[in-house]
Structure 1
Amino acid sequence: MIAIFLVAVCAYSTGAAATFNEIKAGYQSSDTLILSREGELLHRLRTDATVRRGQWVALADVSPALRTALVLSEDKRFYEHSGVDWRAVSAAAWGNLWNTKTRGASTITMQLAGLLDEDLRRGSGGRSVVQKLGQTWSAQSLERSWRKDQILEAYLNLVPFRGELVGIDALSQTLFGKAAHGLDHREAAVAAALVRAPNAKEAQVVQRACSVLKSLESAAANCAALDLFVTGALQRRDYAASEGVAPHVARQLTASPGTHATRRITTTLRAPLQRFAVQTLQSHLRELAGRHVEDAALLVLDNASGEVLAWVGSSGPLSNAADVDAVTALRQPGSTLKPFLYAQAMAERRITAASLLEDSAAQIQTTGGLYIPQNYDRHFKGWVSARTALGASLNVPAVRTLVMVSPDAFAKQLTRLGLPLAESGDFYGYSLALGSAEVSLLNLTNAYRALANGGRASPSTLLPRKPAPASQALDPRAAFIVGDILSDPMARARTFGTDSVLATRFWSAVKTGTSKDMRDNWAVGYSQRYTVGVWVGNASGAPMWDVSGTTGAAPIWAAVMNFLHAKQASRAPKPPAGVVHKAVQFANSTSAPTLEAARDEWFVEGTQQTTFAMDSGAIRAVSMSSRGQKDLKTEAAPSARITAPTHGTIIALDPDIPPKAQRLSLQAEGANLRWLLNGKPVAKGNSAQWPLWPGKHLLQITDARGHVLDQVRFEVRGAGVLSARADGAKPR
């Protein structure tokens, strides 16, 4: 009676009472599956290190060979009994009575009952009498509520095989490198042998597998090569912990609060776009292999919702740092910050798109000495409009614009756009105009998305959810005008030509950028519906060789944009309220040729004018102010004087630019001038370029007779200059 009572208690265990659907729903794989918005599998990432379980496999997806092998090996009368094989029980009891070795009487259903109930699981010393009675009762209970196919399916998915492997999917993928539906007779025989003794020695597995194989094929089955096959299978570990086309998305999501326990995560990614992005990125990097480039990243955002449609964090097998997610890594953005600077200056009514800015040698006084910006090609274009300066990515006009706005105000504007900087604007100084701060591709691309949305900024998301509320981070009128400039092929013609890779057959706005010493190359832009950001470089920070804005990231950007708009149009945005369209013309003076061709231009209402010209007095005043607003002087100049460098200047050599490429611009006013440096003649005329050399120097100008007319003292610091490429300049 006591034994019967204990059996009855065990019968109401959790496993026996659960339905098949409940067991299947509660199954937890050791992997997390990352799904696209369409439900396609993009990536599989192992997130449970304690056990190796694959995905739940339906019985119909298990090879017939394995189903047959398992029944023949473990339970020949599986389809005949009702949970307990009493004939096998009698045979086992008789064998035990005469001390004869027989096969165990435990059926597949009884084994499943033991797997479902913690109280019935086999211990190191085997099952107790009470456990065996409970197992018998539970097996009969399962047979009354489950179908035979459900019992066999659950057993195949829950049975431990070898080591950490549990379930047929993990076994098939690891030992045989294939799905369960593809197992042949030999593989099925090995799998069935491992069910009987998961951790048996190889010789024992071979012996049992041969027995199963003979029962499958016939007594004449060939087991000659089975030992080599078993040895190879048991040593194989081909089931990668992570595989697919979205490894960094998988890590990003599984590390997020609230998703660590989820084994299937549906994302906003588009499966065809993600695969195309990975293939395009890797294909282009192979073309750049000879230029010391091995890493890249790509991000595609939906403008309206902020949903991430593609996220490629690295070049994968082409990289020595494939685990580094370059979408979230901080890098110098180069000239890609310029659109936000010009937009801020326009919003503050400091400039218009037609305002003339001087692109010439500039020396800006700072607390740390002189800041001397250079253009990518080390050539100056003279007076240009703001439209040309931004479109052609000229550095000096951008720095002059930042002098007007101030670094601190610009840093606050970047923060409003979702680009928080590690330091204050004053820390970066005027180099902030050229991207000296560090930002991530994720934040930078989302900031361009704000431009596409008329200056409204909101967070991006990888998970389907209601769009976050947007804030007006930038004046919508300025955002529209900057977008119009970035979409204008003529505006960038001076640097990129009129038919560069940046020109698309549909409306798009794009900006490239290259950080110091070619360490980072960017292309970020948007269409009517999408924003695409691309970074190319090296995760190690090593410089690239001969990679520019149009050869590095831009071709990848163009390919992805063309893919997105293969069957979808993109139209220019409608102008917001408060902007006006006016015809403008440009001239140096009343007698000089025009600076730029006449055109129609967009203005923030109240800033429009029809003519933009510079006379000689204005040119001289702005040239003087380029040394810094505090250095602008109005008093009459002497007949001959040195205007650059100023007395007491301290110049620091840039270790990332080859010494031969670094020059100091010497400027003076007067006639028939001779330049002396430390008493030695170096040049004649009003201007010259002197190759920098460390030390303290005395610079003088003299007349034709050798009389000293003016002199200044300055210092060049930085004797330990690193050697680098001869054309290593501050790129665009």
Structure 2
Amino acid sequence: MMKQRLSIFLGIVLVIALLCRWVISTITLPSFIEIKQQSAASYIQILARDGTPLERIRANFNQRRLEWTALEQFSSAIQEMILRSEDKRFYQHSGVDWLALGNAVVGQVQGEATRGASTISMQVVGMLVPELQRQQGSRRYAQKIQQMFYAMALEGQWSKQQILEAYLNLVPLRGELVGIPAGAQGFFQKYPEALNMRESALLAAMLRAPNADVDKLVQRSCALIKPDGCEYLDRFVSNAVKQRHSQWVDSPTDAPHLARRLISQYRAQYLHIPENLPSTIDASLQRFVQERIHSRLVELFAERVSDAAVVVLDNNSGEVLAYVGSSGQLSTAIDVDHANALRQAGSTLKPFVYAYAFDKKRLTAASLLNDDVLSLPVETGLYIPQNYDRGFKGWVSVRTALASSLNIPAVQALTMLDIEAMRDVLVSLGLPLNETGEFYGYSLALGSADVTLLSLTNAYRALANGGQYRPVSWLPIKNTDLSIDNQSSASAVKQVLSPESSWIIGDILSDRQARALTFGLDSALSTPFWTAVKTGTSKDMRDNWTVGWSSHYTVGVWVGNSAGESMRHISGVSGAAPIWHDIMQYLHRELPSMQKDRPSEVLAQRIDYEPRVEPSRTEYFLDKTAMKTIRLVGSDVVDSASFISEPTQGTIIALDPDIPKERQLVKFEAKQLNHQVANDVYWVLNGETLGGQNPFFWPARVGRYTLSLYHKNGRKLDEIRFQVRGIR
């Protein structure tokens, strides 16, 4: 009878065992390779074009997980502490530690406080299988049994080394930290292979209750490392828990703004972001630019300058070779990407105004414009542009006006064009002008619109490429199947300006003689190889720019302050230009730069001026616009022709009630075409002769007036109307 019962019992056990074995064989788990590939780090590493690391930026803010670490890269100390704490018989059991399970059951029946019997294999499947994960506290008994079956299945499909490696990489630690590598970095600034016994004991102690207080962690750590000693362990644990490191001390930090921009571009196009993200950045150039920004801003510290940004583009491919968004530690807003921040463009828009005027055949490089007092009626009154130095140069050619960055001639050029059409040209070049041309008005010629350094640099690259706009490229050529552009809507090549006008603009901006009027022959704009360059300074010296190109590269530099404070005595040529010059020198240290061949539709012509306001020279013209002689007309003796320079036509003068009437004088001044003070003239106001002094100061009186200028021989030279308002 006893034998029969034993046989039945053994038969039942055998059936149960076979049934369990069959159940285990039906369980399918993801492979170790799949789990390893799916375990994405919380950080993305930006790589330079040669594969060297540039920047490491966090992308997942729910967890802090590092790159997957192989088992052999964990120190023996951490492996020993983990096994001692979590699974002493890890290498002896097949997924379930039946001895530990039996002890746990007995302890629970007897009401004793014992730790659970979950093995490392059981914990791993608990992390891999969603239905086995904890739901508000401990797992249910059914979950525990299911977890045991899954653990035995895991042992049959993975090796012990793979299970332990996965556990070390996936186990949750304190707070947001996931995985021993993240804990080693976060608490100790160490790689896992460098963890010692104390550090390993603390990390292992966190596994049972990750957010336990310091005293509990000290107690558990000490229990693990005995009899090696627990001296000063309380201080050690306290210091480690308090010091949470988010980055490696030796992490590369060469392109933080580029990293954020690349990631945002990927997300905008719903693309998968790889852990190692390639870029077009030249690592050595990027670091040189950072060093040059730092050294230049240190020199400008007394002038209240704290920030700068630089963009370097390859003319042909459009690849972004350098992208520095701030001056780093010198900046008052280190995280602001100034290369992508909207800033007033200043004089940097002038080349596009003149190029468009050339294409519309309104002007040529030889055309004369009068750099003198100019007042234009607008809805709010009179718009009176001023030159940077508050002076006037008289009649100048377009070549001189653009190269020397004169403001008034640029405004005169815009008056010859349709402002809406000019605005559309700038938008077609990628500049972010969100308002209408009417909104900007004539001040558009002087850069009243806000632009970004990146968009402005790429617009200049269009000039370098014969007026052809193309978006920039953030990824190496081999990755061009991913369309990451500087503007998601810009995907096609656009011929915005003609190759002929673009070539002439480049010729003007490379002309040292033409820019000498403002900048002199020897300045930071001059290079020993061919370059075309333009500076710009915004209102109140808040921003200054230098943007230019060689035959290979386009470089844009912005210098200013994050909060928009004015700089002291800083212009584009003194602030941004030295940085631009040094970057160009670096780029061409072994590479020549030559001007592109002149387009066949651009004609070279020897020209003369009558009167001789500028020397004779060879000038370049679009087809059917060439001329040999440029002659000023409107006077029998042009050299001595005079005009009223002050006040300008339509001026409205308001008297100040707080100033005595006899002290409120209006200045009448006449000048010749060469901008010298006119001689042999006299003034007539409302038909009354005033006298021949020049300038003449007239006691202001309320009323409307016609002011006439006469030569001493009685010939009328000029006439304007103005008005005086105020107290009577």
TM-score normalised by L of structure 2: 0.82
Extract unaligned runs of 5+ from structure 2. 1-11, 484-490, 656-665, 672-677, 711-715
Extract unaligned runs of 5+ from structure 1. 625-640, 654-662, 704-708, 718-732
Matched position secondary structure for 1:17: coil
Residue 25 of structure 1: how far off its partner (Å): 1.0
Residue 259 of structure 1: how far off its partner (Å): 4.3
Note the alpha carbon deviations across 1:322-346, whole angstroms, 9 max, x for none.
3333223222111111111111122
Q: Distance in 1 between matches of 2:245 and 2:128?
A: 29
Aligned to 2:662: none
Q: Distance in 1 between matches of 2:701 and 2:566?
A: 25
Query: Quick check: 1:247 aligned with 2:265?
Result: no
Matches within 5 A, 1:32-181: 32-93=44-105, 95=107, 104-181=116-193
Note the alpha carbon deviations across 1:75-123, whole angstroms, 9 max, x for none.
3333344333344445545555666655543322222122111222244
Note the alpha carbon deviations across 1:329-371, whole angstroms, 9 max, x for none.
2221111111111111222223222333332333344454333
Of residues 594, 614, 619, the one that matches 1:601 is: 619
The structure-2 alpha-carbon separation of the partners of 1:13 and 1:604, relative to structure 1 and needing over 3 Å to count, comes to farther
Q: Distance in 1 between matches of 2:701 and 2:299?
A: 40
The structure-2 alpha-carbon separation of the partners of 1:566 and 1:66, relative to structure 1 and needing over 3 Å to count, comes to farther
| RMSD (CA atoms) | 3.9
Contact 2:376 2:384 in 1 (8 A): yes
Aligned to 2:480: 465
TM-score normalised by L of structure 1: 0.82
Range with bigger deviation, 523-532 or 315-324? 315-324
Query: Quick check: 1:519 aligned with 2:542?
Result: yes
Range with bigger deviation, 607-616 or 66-75? 607-616
Note the alpha carbon deviations across 1:123-143, whole angstroms, 9 max, x for none.
444233333333332223222
Note the alpha carbon deviations across 1:623-643, whole angstroms, 9 max, x for none.
99xxxxxxxxxxxxxxxx967
Aligned to 2:366: 354
- Report the residue type matching 1:608 in the other structure: A
Q: Distance in 2 between matches of 1:56 and 1:696?
A: 85
Contact 2:373 2:648 in 1 (8 A): no
Query: Quick check: 1:537 aligned with 2:550?
Result: no
- Report the residue type matching 1:432 in the other structure: L
Note the alpha carbon deviations across 1:160-191, whole angstroms, 9 max, x for none.
11122211232222222333333333222211
- Report the residue type matching 1:272 in the other structure: S
Matched position secondary structure for 1:405: coil
Q: Distance in 2 between matches of 1:698 and 1:231?
A: 86
Contact 2:373 2:646 in 1 (8 A): no
Matches within 5 A, 1:214-225: 214=226, 219-221=227-229, 223-225=230-232
Of residues 502, 507, 512, the one that matches 1:489 is: 512
Residue 209 of structure 1: how far off its partner (Å): 1.5
Q: How many residues align?
A: 673
Aligned to 1:233: 240
Q: Distance in 1 between matches of 2:698 and 2:548?
A: 39
Contact 1:274 1:311 in 2 (8 A): yes
Matched position secondary structure for 1:244: coil
Q: Distance in 2 between matches of 1:431 and 1:478?
A: 22
Matched position secondary structure for 2:619: strand
Residue 523 of structure 1: how far off its partner (Å): 0.9
Contact 1:7 1:130 in 2 (8 A): no
Matches within 5 A, 1:584-599: 584=607, 586-589=608-611, 594-599=612-617
Note the alpha carbon deviations across 1:595-646, whole angstroms, 9 max, x for none.
444433322233223444546728969999xxxxxxxxxxxxxxxx967435
Residue 670 of structure 1: how far off its partner (Å): 8.5
The structure-2 alpha-carbon separation of the partners of 1:237 and 1:485, relative to structure 1 and needing over 3 Å to count, comes to same
- Report the residue type matching 1:650 in the other structure: I
Contact 2:372 2:392 in 1 (8 A): yes
Q: Distance in 1 between matches of 2:578 and 2:698?
A: 38
Query: Quick check: 1:546 aligned with 2:555?
Result: no
Contact 2:682 2:709 in 1 (8 A): yes
Q: Distance in 1 between matches of 2:73 and 2:684?
A: 87
- Report the residue type matching 1:603 in the other structure: F
Residue 690 of structure 1: how far off its partner (Å): 10
The structure-2 alpha-carbon separation of the partners of 1:181 and 1:650, relative to structure 1 and needing over 3 Å to count, comes to farther
Aligned to 2:203: 191
Q: Distance in 2 between matches of 1:204 and 1:525?
A: 64
Range with bigger deviation, 258-267 or 380-389? 258-267
Matched position secondary structure for 1:206: helix
Note the alpha carbon deviations across 1:461-487, whole angstroms, 9 max, x for none.
334426843111001100011111212
Q: Distance in 2 between matches of 1:274 and 1:438?
A: 26
- Report the residue type matching 1:525 in the other structure: G
The structure-2 alpha-carbon separation of the partners of 1:424 and 1:517, relative to structure 1 and needing over 3 Å to count, comes to same
- Report the residue type matching 1:609 in the other structure: M
Matches within 5 A, 1:288-367: 288-367=300-379
Q: Distance in 2 between matches of 1:212 and 1:476?
A: 76
Q: Distance in 2 between matches of 1:136 and 1:690?
A: 105
Aligned to 1:574: 597
The structure-2 alpha-carbon separation of the partners of 1:651 and 1:482, relative to structure 1 and needing over 3 Å to count, comes to farther
Aligned to 2:3: none
Residue 293 of structure 1: how far off its partner (Å): 2.0
Contact 1:521 1:536 in 2 (8 A): yes
Q: Distance in 2 between matches of 1:602 and 1:481?
A: 7
The structure-2 alpha-carbon separation of the partners of 1:453 and 1:357, relative to structure 1 and needing over 3 Å to count, comes to same
Aligned to 1:714: 723
Range with bigger deviation, 81-90 or 166-175? 81-90
Residue 449 of structure 1: how far off its partner (Å): 1.0
Range with bigger deviation, 126-135 or 461-470? 461-470
Query: Quick check: 1:508 aligned with 2:523?
Result: no
Q: Distance in 1 between matches of 2:269 and 2:640?
A: 58
Aligned to 1:721: none
Matched position secondary structure for 1:580: strand
The structure-2 alpha-carbon separation of the partners of 1:179 and 1:493, relative to structure 1 and needing over 3 Å to count, comes to farther
Aligned to 1:427: 439
Matched position secondary structure for 2:369: strand
Q: Distance in 1 between matches of 2:654 and 2:75?
A: 72
Contact 1:588 1:615 in 2 (8 A): no
Contact 2:346 2:447 in 1 (8 A): yes
Matched position secondary structure for 2:416: helix
Of residues 268, 275, 278, the one that matches 1:257 is: 268
Aligned to 2:463: 451
Q: Distance in 2 between matches of 1:711 and 1:481?
A: 37
Residue 454 of structure 1: how far off its partner (Å): 0.4
Contact 1:448 1:531 in 2 (8 A): yes
Contact 2:343 2:452 in 1 (8 A): yes
Residue 447 of structure 1: how far off its partner (Å): 0.9
Aligned to 2:647: 645
- Report the residue type matching 1:363 in the other structure: S
Contact 2:500 2:599 in 1 (8 A): yes
The structure-2 alpha-carbon separation of the partners of 1:337 and 1:699, relative to structure 1 and needing over 3 Å to count, comes to same
